[in-house]
Amino acid sequence: MKVRVTHRFEATAERVYDAFFDREKVAKFLFATPAGRVVRCEIDARVGGRFVIVDRRGTDDVEHVGRYVELERPRRIVFAFSVPRYSTDEDTVCIDIEPRAVGCELTLTHEMNSKYAQFAPRTRDGWSKMVEVLEAVVAPETTGCGPGLAQHASVPAKIATMLKGLAETLELHRTMLTSSDARTTNEDAVYASLAAEWRDIAKRVEEAAARMREQRDLPMGSHDESTWGSRHEHAFANFVDAQSRLTALLRVATERDEAMLASMRAGK
């Protein structure tokens, strides 16, 4: 069976293709999980060459080993890979990159053994996340305020998606309440209020992110660079520091919630 993911990039086909063979870039997106950290990345970029990528997830090292079957810069990459920790079966991944007038379009096709059909949705989701990170990794250098706004839209857009998930989780929790005593009534009211608030915030963040994304072609007005001062630098430093802190918190939270999700699935 096949799992397919398509994604548009503003980066050139060559830039996207080359990212799959740059060890520093590969460690940021290929087989890298949100709560993990790639601790080993070896690439022999030639037909018949092999690669090894090890993602450390908590105390576990998950090794991905593969070999390159086809390489045609900048249009096509085909590799076979396996994850020995879970199975010695090899899957084949075909990456086709089509240059466009602006950027390129990538189509990733993962040929899976049909006995793993139940994992197809999660596999598709995993590759979708991977190409989204790849988009950030290969994003061209921005010049001008409009492109800068557009480039910074992806993070708030994902935060909006996360907040919508939080709102839905809170709302669904209410369906588990079974009695009508005072404590249950109070809990239901708290969850209902929080779900509504987060849903509203998510909607506004999503709309603002969409407006940012639409500003790529915003004509650049005149600027007086001499007005740049310590306040501007301090504000941007606070923004960068907040991103760093958020990244650290999300890593811990993701690891915790992934363990909770795995426990839920195991209990079914």
pLDDT at 34: 78
Q: Of 7, 12, 6, give the one whose Cα is nearest residue 140.
A: 12
pLDDT at 255: 84
User: For residue 209, is it within any domain?
Assistant: yes
pLDDT at 175: 95
Torsion of CA 240, 205, 175, 188, to 10 degrees: 80
Domains identified in the chain, total number: 3
Residues spanned by the domain of 155:
142-218
With both helix axes pointing from N to C terminus, report the angle between 120-137 and 154-173 in degrees, rounded to the nearest 10.
150
pLDDT at 267: 78
**Considering the chain, what is the average pLDDT of its residues?**
93
pLDDT at 68: 98
Residue numbers in the chain where pLDDT is lower than 50 = none
Q: Are residues 86 and 20 in the same domain?
A: yes
DSSP for 227-258 reads G--HHHHHHHHHHHHHHHHHHHHHHHHHHHHH
φ/ψ of 94, rounded to 5, equals: -110, 125
pLDDT at 57: 83
Q: Are residues 177 and 210 in the same domain?
A: yes
Q: Are residues 12 and 133 in the same domain?
A: yes
pLDDT at 59: 83
Q: Are residues 150 and 30 in the same domain?
A: no
Q: Are residues 41 and 124 in the same domain?
A: yes
Q: Are residues 29 and 132 in the same domain?
A: yes
User: pTM to 2 decimals?
Assistant: 0.76
Q: Are residues 203 and 95 in the same domain?
A: no
DSSP for 42-58 reads EE--STT-EEEEEEEET
User: For residue 225, is it within any domain?
Assistant: no
